[in-house]
Every structure is written in structure tokens, then in C-alpha cells.
Amino acid sequence: MKTLALLILFCASVYGADTTTTTNIVGDITTKVFERTAKDGKPKMRTETVYRGGKKILQTVSQPNEQGKLVVVYRRYLVNGNLVMSEYDNDGRGGFKSLFLYQPGTDNLEIFHPQPDGTVKPVSTKHLELIKKQGAVMTEYMEKEFAKTNETDQEICDSMQQMRQKVQDMEKEKKNDTK
């Protein structure tokens, strides 16, 4: 998994204009859309969140691909407000490349890669442990950043760069281990 996908999603939420709309209300199902545009007015990110009775049950994030067309890159599934599964399109070319299953209330997770024939294969234990470490780095960063209220844009960017470097170093370690 390219763990930088999460970082990119976070980075995209720092710049540009925001628009949030409620697009659909059917019974107790509500869909809200959040869109972030770049300074040039082009879409940078679109998040569609579906609620049942006020609790989030599905979230879909889209970002522009190389041609500038919005494509779904991340999907989260929740039960009773708890994340239980997510899918990632790590390269933005279409089709989910990673499937994550979470055990609510713990840090337990499993990761699978869908195969062209429709089957899925679990990632190696070493890969799973690396993903957990990268997730911990990103979680620590997010918790620190959201606790701060008076940071300048430059301070936020500097802090994000430090976190990005830690994650990239871990990604290099993973690549070196697979050689």
C-alpha cells in the first residue's frame, strides 16, 4: 500500500475552497458531499459520506487522476460508527488494490490484495507490521496537529513534510526488504 495516499488526502484538505452539501435524504439515510477545489477552481478532492440515523456508515473519497478526472481512491465502511473495512486505489488508476479489515476497539487489522481472477491474497506478516507502524506514525501526527489551533500554513506544511519523510523512510525499508 502506498501509505502516502492518506497523507495526500490530508494534504488536500489543507488548501483550496470547501463546499459541503447535503445531496440526498431518504428516510433515515442522508448523504453529504464535501468538495475541495484548488485555487484554479479545479476539483482536488470529493468526499461523499452516507449516514443511517445520524451514524456514518460509508465514506467515499475521490481525487483527480492523471487526466484530471475524479476517481474513487478510498472507501470506508462503518458499522455502528466503527470502521470495519476500507478499500484503496493506491495508484489512482481505477480498481481497488488493497482491502483492509479492522477489528473495532483494537489495533488488529488484516490486509488483502484483490487478484485479477477475483480472489484475494493476504499481505505478508512483515508487510502488515510495516503498515501498522506507518499507521501509528500518521495517527500520532494527526492527533498532534488537530490539538494545535494557532499554527501558520507554513508550520503545518513543515510538520506534514516531517511526517511524510518518516513514512517514506519506512516505505524505502519495505522495498529494500523485498529485494
Q: What is the pLDDT of residues 164-177, one digit of tens each?
A: 777 777 777 766 65
pLDDT in tens, 56-105: 999 998 888 888 888 888 899 999 888 899 998 876 677 788 899 999 88
Cell of 99: 482491502
Phi first, then psi: give them for residue 25, nearest 5 degrees: -130, 110
Query: What pLDDT is stored for residue 18 in this prediction?
Result: 55
pLDDT at 114 over 70: yes
- The better pLDDT of the pair 48, 173 is held by 48
Element holding 116 (H helix, E strand): none
**Of the candidates 179, 175, 176, 145, the residue with the CA atom closest to the CA atom of residue 160:** 145
Q: Please determine, for residue 110, whether its predicted confidence score (pLDDT) is greater than 80.
A: yes
Q: Cell numbers at residue 90, please?
A: 493506491
